[in-house]
Chain A
């Protein structure tokens, strides 16, 4: 029955900006400090304290504007969103409301059928994060940690263009990837650097939109998926049993995988937004906006296009590389500091190198100090000094910094035998007493050639250069 219904989803993503200090104070913007360590008089809402805008946050917003195809508004206004809560010391959150810094952007996501889908983004605005209330330390008291107070957030609000949990995860991961590429957000969802509120309603295909519910504060792809699936079924059950969905804010219980109402609309706050009189409107000039452009990092989709066109790397392999920004740093370093064919580097990277990283549970960036060794190894292979097989054997030692590739090859006596005289002798030995097979070859049986090559390689213990062996063998056989 549920396949009669489709879901309509819009996403509000809160991204903590990667800045050294907070949105309106000079306190450090750090995760994981001792409680209330990163709190100054402004953050604590002391009498007479005033906010001062951290311009780095504006620059991060502008970069996001470029990356997500937004209109960057030259006029934006910080307003106060008024409500009482102990982890909100000012009694209001400074946010943007009527005039956000970014309007009307979009992001393209991949679809299962290979096409892309454009997800429109309504707006993105800057705001302060709140502190944390901790209710489970003491039976009688709640504890307040104000470290997070004033951390800069960019809230990115999509249109309801998403129609499945898959869509949402694709959108969110693409957004995360983009924000990480442009150094706007560290993308660490576990630490809450990126959190999503999901607005979900259901409808019959082509039918009218239903009433939506908002699921708050989801901080992992797994939870997002679970919450959407649960809420989708819940709304279907409500309607199919003759009820109607109430507009609610829902909490997702990570232990049960269920959503439940947090507060219903009748208790909803009147936030009494009004322009913050302590702050001036943000008025940007074309010059200020365009100044940011040269510092824009290459975006994931731009990298894919470049890898395909400049390096002739397959699109699928390019996608694997760009999945994490770290990969591209490693890859591009190797391409830039060697003359090894980038395509060759790419296939080694996504193959043996990634396998090694995965096996050893390494940070890709740890390999940055061995990039020269890696490309030297690849060069030994392409120069026929060692075989591909030997290269694969040596690679783990190179990646662990156990030695330079040429030294390792020498030490282990693994150089490929490419000396023609030596190979001729080996081939002559191999052909000795094989008159029958030689006759077969001359009679037109090509299969015999493989047999002879294998025999020669075996006697060189794999070190013989297969290409050369092939060549000499043919010459001799054709005589």
Chain B
């Protein structure tokens, strides 16, 4: 793996003129351009970014640099970027150039970040292995040391983002997480992946998958880098009705601060029922690393974990089936002609959507249909409420919850053909998403095959500051970065 460079060290080097903004960009652009792992749908070249690079360099020269000035970032191809093709890795949007910038990416631009390109992802963010992309699968830069020629998945749906950071083609990448799409690929690529509280980061300008679950967040090399990005993107946005006006902290400033009271971390026994010893060892390692602190670990039990995945696979497709109705080939995107209007719809959508997206539209349409709504959608909404309540019950006893991020290490491309087996990848991340809670995946160790594994730390609503403080501590103690 390439040497990891933190945002703070890069900003310092730029300030001290050890490197120029252009040189830094070129360094990452060179790797991105090779696109060895297919982690980009589109790479922006230095010519395109010329004026942005110059302005950024000028600010450094004037000593007036912005928090992310000159930092090369990858952007999941789900964020609309003004004047830059945004495809959601789908054929149906393969020619779509937005005339607007998403709220989140605009914040990053406002803070001086320079975009390297648009990261590959699962089509419309539907997938857990980045194999559903119209532009082909992304390859995990990590190799199984016992079978080094195998191509492994990076996880998904933000697989291109994770692979890009791991391969060193960008410093960090913006992902989105609906049921684990930031945390799971971060875990499979040995990175930090943060899904903030639902409502922290505006969804305005992000191609919608499941509106009540979608949330933007960073995939980074370190917890500190995640704090850098979160500081930039977590803001109230009037144009997203579900954006929260809860006050935000300076997540970076206090990241080193000692936890101010005794911390209680709950470990849910029901998450560990059917996992391998290797996965359980990740939890044990994490526990051990914190032995020297005033931290107590307690067993907790959820009553709803077994229902979370089915609940998710009703609610998310239901919302998706409606959110994706606008892709009809009429106003933008790819149109397939037909003899009449219905044929245009049928041909455009049949040809424009891949199998997994089609499957979820069908599931979503089914669960919302007359006669099935009460049995599926309404029931799922009720269970979702119980899952939220279940978390709140547990948070009365503990400050954080520690779980594995995924039930397994990165698997081979093409290995999981059964959709249900694929959906099982999200079993630990989905409950957090349904509850709208913040969750972060931290690298916790390597498997017997030399592949990264991660743990997930879950906090209560808008507890990102404490979540990052504790994560920073765990990161330091596990010394995985060294």
Contact = CB atoms under 8 A, between A and B. Distances in A.
Interface stretch (A79-87, A118-126, A293-301, A456-464): A79-87
Given A41-B100, A82-B325, A277 B204 contact: no
A89 interface: yes
Interface string B332-350: 1000000001000100000
Given A47-B80, A47-B88, A278 B328 contact: no
Contacts of A49: 204-205
Interface stretch (A50-58, A66-74, A397-405): A50-58
Contacts of B42: none
Contacts of A272: 321-322, 365, 368-370, 373
B246 to A, nearest CB: 14
Interface string B61-89: 00000000000000000011000001010
Nearest to A272: B368
A165 interface: no
A453 to B, nearest CB: 78
A460 to B, nearest CB: 76
A261 interface: no
Contact of B93 (A41, A47, A84, A274): A47
B322 A80 contact: yes
Contacts of B239: 50, 52
Contacts of A89: 326, 330-331
A210 interface: no
Contact of B99 (A41, A45, A278): A41
A50 B102 CA distance: 11
A91 B328 contact: yes
Contacts of A92: 322, 325
A48 B324 CA distance: 11
Given A270-B369, A274-B377, A51 B326 contact: no
Contacts of B111: none
Contact of B240 (A44, A50, A86): A50
A46 B326 CA distance: 8
B205 A48 contact: yes
A90 interface: yes
B80 to A, nearest CB: 5
A300 to B, nearest CB: 37
B325 A277 contact: no
A279 interface: yes
Interface in B203-217: 203-208, 210-212
Contacts of B322: 80, 82, 91-92, 272, 274
A90 B331 CA distance: 11
Given A82-B322, A272-B322, A274-B377, A48 B241 contact: no
B96 interface: yes
A90 B204 contact: no
A274 B318 contact: yes
A280 interface: yes
Contact of B96 (A47, A270, A278): A47
A280 B322 CA distance: 17
B242 interface: yes
A47 B331 contact: no
B174 to A, nearest CB: 14
A48 B207 contact: yes
B136 interface: no
B98 interface: yes
A365 B206 CA distance: 50
B203 A52 contact: no
Nearest to B370: A270
Interface residues of B, number: 43
Contacts of B369: 270, 272
Interface in A115-144: 142, 144
B302 interface: no
Contacts of B88: 47
Contact of B330 (A80, A82, A86, A278): A86
B86 A50 contact: no
B480 interface: no
Nearest to A51: B241
B211 A277 contact: yes
A90 B319 contact: no
A28 B18 CA distance: 53
Interface centre among A52, A86, A91, A272, by most B CB within 10 Å? Answer: A272
A280 B242 contact: yes
Contacts of A274: 318, 322, 368, 373, 377
Contacts of B203: 48, 50
Interface string B135-179: 000000000000000000000000000000000000000000000
Nearest to B79: A48
Contacts of A84: 325, 328, 345
Nearest to B86: A47
Contacts of B208: 47-48, 278
Contact of B204 (A45, A50, A86, A273): A50
Given A80-B322, A82-B322, A277-B211, A48 B328 contact: no
Contacts of A46: 98, 100, 332
Nearest to A45: B326
A41 B326 CA distance: 12
B175 to A, nearest CB: 15
B241 A47 contact: no
A47 B82 CA distance: 12
Interface string A236-280: 000000000000000000000000000000000010111001111
A48 B326 contact: no
A256 B404 CA distance: 71
B99 A277 contact: no
Contact of A48 (B204, B332, B365, B368): B204
Given A47-B88, A47-B207, A272-B369, A277 B345 contact: no
A80 B322 CA distance: 8
A22 to B, nearest CB: 14
B241 A280 contact: yes
Contacts of B100: 41, 46
Interface string A308-324: 00000000000000000
Given A47-B93, A86-B330, A91-B326, A278 B318 contact: no
Contacts of A279: 241-242
A44 B241 contact: no
A80 B99 CA distance: 26
Nearest to A78: B241
B211 A278 contact: yes
Contacts of A47: 80, 86, 88, 93, 96, 98, 207-208, 326
B326 A52 contact: no
B98 A91 contact: no
A128 to B, nearest CB: 14
17 contacts: A41-B99, A45-B326, A47-B80, A47-B88, A49-B205, A50-B203, A50-B241, A82-B322, A84-B345, A91-B328, A92-B322, A270-B369, A272-B321, A277-B242, A278-B208, A280-B241, A280-B242
Interface of B: 79-80, 86, 88, 93, 96, 98-100, 102, 203-208, 210-212, 238-242, 318-319, 321-322, 324-326, 328, 330-332, 341, 345, 365, 368-370, 373, 377
Please name the 10 residue pairs, one residue from A and one from B, whose CB atoms are nearest each other, closest first.
A91-B325, A277-B211, A272-B368, A277-B212, A45-B326, A48-B205, A47-B207, A91-B326, A48-B80, A270-B370
Given A91-B328, A273-B368, 18 more contacts: A45-B326, A47-B93, A49-B204, A49-B205, A50-B239, A50-B240, A52-B239, A53-B241, A82-B321, A82-B322, A82-B325, A86-B341, A91-B322, A270-B370, A277-B242, A278-B242, A279-B241, A280-B242
